[in-house]
Structure 1
Amino acid sequence: METELPWNIILASTAVLAFIYWYFTSTFSYWEMRGVPFVKPLPAFGNIVDYILWWNTYQESCVKIYKKLEGHAFGGFYDAHKPVLLLRDPEIIKQVMVKDFANFRDRNQSIPEKLFPLGSHLFSLTGSRWRKLRVMLTPTFTSGKMKMMLPTIVECTRELISCLEKSADSNDFLEMRNVIANFTTDVIGSCAFGLQINSMKESDSEFRRMGNKIFKPNHRTSIVRSISLFFRPIFWILKPAAMSQEVNDFFIDLFKDSMSYREKNKVVRNDFLQLLIQLKNKGKVDEDRLSSKDDIHLTITEKVSAADAEKDEPLEMTDTLLAAQCFVFFLAGFETSSTTISCCLHELAVNPDIQERLRKEVDKVLIKHGGKITYEALQDLKYMDAVVDETLRKYPPVGNLNRVCTKAYKIPDTHVNIDKDTKLIIPVYAIHHDPKYYPDPEKFDPSRFTENNIKSRPHFSYLPFGEGPRVCIGLRFGRMQVKVGLAALLTKYKFSVCEKTSIPLGFDPMSSTITFWPNKIFLKISHRDN
């Protein structure tokens, strides 16, 4: 009897190990059986071991996979043990994002709203609920509404400029991501919630603290993220800080209090919150005519999303649903814009000739418009457009675009069928750094975005805001915020590299699978006349 016990343990352990091995490798024949080129996976880790172990970002892992699939229009890989299809060819990307959008409507599997009520926002909603909300929110982001919000953004730049004065006097070294995050927090706090946050002076404000809780990488969140790749329910059991009850309650209460105050005191402001109040009370937002070239990204959504609209389920405009839209407005406007401005300033410091040319354009345009940053002045900043476009190419805030196959689909002119619920990835960061489209991709070169150079590339080789009906609804607001911030800074200050500046700029391996964050950006600030 004494000799049987060890054998029982050995047999049981062997069975457990065999099951674990089977669980983590049972899907590894998926792409081979379908005749799809694929990258050979490692047991358990699939093709993203370097991401799971925090060696690099998920986007950088996708670059490696993208390169290994060179010569193929698409290919398979494994997210731990989950099969994922990576698209490389711009024409197939166009097919998925626009022409056959009905088969790929969703970005991800839906978020359980009982576990995270703020997850019912436009970025994460699926199916007919997404389509109905998208159509209802479209009028809130027209060029007319952007003009209405511009003075609020300009007002926030005055505080930014004022707070940097002493640092410029002393030629200080500043961590620009933190500085710009304070600015974008103030902008979003004012435009989305009607609040004067004053993050430049009160960096420990509750609003700023919540922003850090959501975006600042930490080991607990990274551990939850890594484990959930193997067993998805863990994600909802442990929940990262961004989905905590504290964050949820803060934003919902903030929205309700702001809305209640305005309705009781008959306060009306030109901001996003006011448009949501209008949507709740009237069931719609007063529309502008979508005729401007600035609104093309909205008209394509209307046309494609209108199909099958009669099948939409009812969508009740509850306080929680509306608060979720303010929440995602905060997420998108705070992080992506601060990353873009910070990375742009980094490149302007590394390339002082580009910085000087851009400053001269800003000076010239502002003189033309009476020294004021107006909507029309922003349209005249053509070289700034190219500089921002090149920043978004080199540092796209959303490094990958996700899609889920919602109806079985055959890739045109191939024998490959995509099963329902298959996850697809469009590797934006990898495409933006492909020398086939962008020679010498690590070089910062705004001339890539002259009219002729843009026409020379496939349209779907540049995707900083996505494309098709699920293109970023707030892209016009984001670009406006970036251009206003840059124009205000360059009229007053000069930015230079210092001994603490990282060249090239690296990324934090604890970044999320969607957005990814540069490491700290240290620059020297001085008055422009110095």
Structure 2
Amino acid sequence: MGISILLLSVLAALIGYLFLRLRRNLQYWKNLGIPCDDPHPILGSLRGIHTTRSFPEVWLQYYSKYRGTGPFAGFYWFLRPAVFILEPFLVKHILIKEFNKFTDRGFFNNPEDDPLSGQLFLLDGHRWKSMRNKLSSTFTSGKMKFMFPTVVKVSDEFVDVFGDMAKKSSVVEVRELLARFTTDVIGTCAFGIECSSLKDPEAEFRVMGRKALTDLRHNMLGLTLLNSFPKFARSIHMKQTPEHIEKFFMRIVKETVSYREENNIRRNDFMDQLIDLKNNRLMKSETGESMSLTIEEIAAQAFVFFNAGFETSSTTMGFALYELAQSQDIQDRLRKECNEVLAKNNGELTYENLKEMGYLCQVISETLRLWTVLPVLNRECLEDFVVPGYPNYVIKKGMPVIIPAGAMHRDEKFYPDPDRFNPDNFTPERVKNRDSVEWLPFGDGPRNCIGMRFGEMQARIGLAKLITNFKFSVCDQTTIPIKYDIKSFLIASASGIYLKAERV
């Protein structure tokens, strides 16, 4: 009996300690007198996420409530006190000027137990720096030029499939069709596989692509543990990738690598670059470190290229068409530019003449401003940082940092009439006079999106092909204004994007 009472006492003391520590954590900003919402006991400042609020709405609402109150507001990333950035000068310090103090994202990753989490986006510290160095040569303009014909070939098939859909019904749900197009592009460039999701919406790659974005390994309590205590979660060998997703992508990568090596096949694509890194064990970095990759590291990088590449580009194109359908004058101007540039080269789209489509670039940039696919940038502070000019505002070591890029893109201080779609926001003159951190769809600084060139190229090709072949307009099924999908971590329409499409 004595031992039982002792064990119960120890357990009660432990629970009491954890409760007091949690309570102290959740009063952190209140005690400092820094503006902050009262946190949810499990979700922190993410109250209502996945149930009543979408991620974009969380950032927009918080930014609107606290902007002008200081350089940052208090925030709770699940159970961790975090900072919610409100001023561009501080964004610049974090992403560029003081980058060495904010190199990490602070997300859970566990490559030893969960190989697909060893991707560039999630890695921190030396592992991130080493992987970024290894992959830096895979997204050069020269490599983009090699992959350009492959993307154009898939886009031609896409136009045919889109035309067949428009024949059957003038009202087309464009979001899913665009996702099938980018799935085939990424599947071909990253894995060298003809995915055929354009012809078959239930093709294996398309199905697994959807599941990779929606299926979760853990419930909300598990996600809270992973995000609140990532180091502890790693120490107890937790994984975040669902088992069926891991098995599928590991199998595909191993089969692709083996087939190419055994048959001496080269396609000048992303997978070739990764295989070269795997096999060139003699290549060293400037620090003498081996530049080679393991098969697990190849799978992780191919996985993030696939996930990030197909969803972000298809979402951007979908929202671009949504805005163009509501602004016929902008759509006509864009179509005129595309046709004039193509006419110089007998109607053929080339790597060189795509660069001449300046207004197309403006349309995509404005779409990314208004509909920022990844509406928030995450960082973690590596050492205490006092905000310049604000001695009472200190970002403590280990704190998550939230940069609400999508919300800042809709601030009238930076963009007049910010909720209006206006590609003239990105004329060369305005871009030149704007601070780079006021437009952050790809981040900024040394940890910006490594696949930015490929994403932009894919979106430009897809839009150029569509706008020269079809006219888009709104219909009774077009949702205006857009309702956000509360289940998505990215910006997405809850009910798809339905538009009227006619051949031109």
TM-score of the pair, normalised by structure 1: 0.85
Partner of 1:439: 416
Q: Which moved more, 1:162-171 or 1:498-507?
A: 162-171
Q: CA 1:122–1:42 in 2, change beyond 3 Å: closer, same or farther?
A: closer
Deviates more, 1:162-171 or 1:431-440: 162-171
Distance 1:281 1:219, change over 3 A: closer
Equivalent positions of 1:270-285 (< 5 A) are 270-283=268-281
Q: 1:146 to 1:285 in 2, by over 3 A?
A: farther
Cα distance in 1, alignment partners of residues 140 and 302 from structure 2: 17
Structure 2 equivalent of residue 70 of structure 1: 67
Please give the alpha-carbon distance, in whole angstroms, between the structure 1 residues aligned to 2:483 and 2:276.
Answer: 43
- Pick aligned residue for 1:366 from 315, 322, 342: 342
What CA RMSD, in Å, does the superposition of the two structures yield over aligned residues? 2.9
Which residues of 2 match residues 106-117 of structure 1 at below 5 A?
A: 106-117=104-115
User: C-alpha separation between the residues in 1 aligned to 2:35 and 2:449?
Assistant: 30
Q: Given the alignment of the two structures, is residue 517 of structure 1 paired with residue 489 of structure 2, yes or no?
A: no
C-alpha distance after superposition, 1:141-199 (max 9, x if no partner): 11111011000000001111111222222443222111001000000010000011110
| In 2: Cα distance, 1:21 partner to 1:370 partner | 71
Distance 1:218-1:33 versus aligned 2 partners, 3 A rule: closer
SS in 1 for 2:363: helix
Supply the AA of the counterpart residue of 1:194.
G
Is the alpha carbon distance of 1:413 and 1:313 closer, same or farther for their aligned partners in structure 2, counting shifts above 3 Å?
Answer: farther
Aligned residues with identical type, % of pairs: 38
- Whether contact under 8 Å (1:167, 1:526) holds in the other structure is no
Aligned mate of 1:526, from 482, 501, 504: 501
CA distance in 1, matches of 2:472, 2:248: 36
Q: CA deviation at 1:47?
A: 5.5
Post-superposition Cα deviations, 1:106-144, rounded to whole Å, max 9, x if no partner, equal 112451223311111111111111111111211111111
Indicate the residue corresponding to 1:210 in structure 2.
208
Q: Which residue identity lines up with residue 150 of structure 1 in the other structure? A: F
Q: Which residue of 2 aligns with 1:51?
A: 48
Give runs of aligned pairs for residues 53-202 of structure 1, distance below 5 A.
54-71=51-68, 72-202=70-200
Q: How many angstroms apart in 1 are the aligned matches of 2:384 and 2:218?
A: 37
Within the candidate set 435, 441, 454, 1:477 is matched to 454
The verdict on how the C-alpha distance between 1:173 and 1:111 changes in structure 2, with shifts beyond 3 A counting, is same
Match in the other structure for 1:377? 353
The reply to whether residue 342 of structure 1 matches residue 318 of structure 2 is yes
Q: What residue is the counterpart of 2:297 in the other structure?
A: 321
Worse-matched range after superposition: 388-397 or 247-256? 247-256
Counterpart position of 1:11: none
**Distance (whole Å) between structure 2 residues aligned to residue 40 and residue 17 of structure 1:** 26
The residue aligned with 1:5 is none
Equivalent-residue separation in structure 2 for 1:22 and 1:171 (angstroms): 61
CA distance in 2, matches of 1:162, 1:238: 45
Residues 51 and 457 of structure 1: CA distance in aligned 2, closer, same or farther (over 3 Å)? farther
1:54 aligned counterpart, secondary structure: coil
| Inter-partner Cα distance in structure 2 for 1:155 and 1:285 | 34
Question: Residues 293-325 of structure 1, C-alpha deviation per residue, up to 9 Å, x if partnerless?
Answer: xxxxxxxxxxxxx9xx74x97675111111111
Q: Say if 1:97 and 1:469, in contact at 8 Å, map to a contact too.
A: yes
SS at match of 2:369: helix
Q: 1:205 to 1:374 in 2, by over 3 A?
A: same
- Matched residue type, 2:501: S
Question: Is 1:25–2:23 an aligned residue pair?
Answer: yes
Give the structure 2 partner of residue 264 of structure 1.
Answer: 262
2:378 paired residue number = 402
Contact 1:161–1:489, Cα closer than 8 Å, also in 2: yes
Shift of residue 285, structure 1, vs aligned partner: 8.9
CA distance 1:39–1:331, shift in 2 (3 Å):
same
Are 2:189 and 2:271, in contact at CA under 8 Å, matched by a contact in 1? yes
Distance 1:141 1:17, change over 3 A: closer
The CA distance in 2 between the partners of 1:227 and 1:103, in whole Å, is 25
Aligned-pair distance for 1:521?
3.1
Q: Secondary structure at the match of 1:52?
A: coil
State the Cα distance separating 1:220 from its structure 2 match.
7.3
Match of 2:445 in 1: 468
Q: Distance in 2 between matches of 1:285 and 1:385?
A: 37
Change beyond 3 A, Cα 1:168–1:248 = same
Structure 1 residues 442 and 283: alpha-carbon distance in aligned structure 2, compared to 1, 3 A threshold:
farther
SS at match of 1:527: strand
Structure-2 change in CA distance of 1:27 and 1:260 (3 Å): same
Does the CA contact (< 8 Å) of 1:129 and 1:315 recur in 2?
Answer: no
TM-score normalised by the chain length of structure 2: 0.90
Q: Separation in 1 of the partners of 2:101 and 2:423?
A: 36
Mapped partners of 1:522, 1:96: distance in 2:
36
Distance 1:407 1:445, change over 3 A: same
SS at structure 1 position matched to 2:458:
helix
Unaligned ranges ≥5, structure 1 = 1-13, 287-305
Q: Deviations over 1:55-92 (max 9, x none)?
A: 11223212222222222221212234321101121111
Partner in structure 2 of residue 38 of structure 1 = 35
CA shift in 2, pair 1:509/1:459, >3 Å: same
Counterpart Cα distance in 1 of 2:176 and 2:79: 37
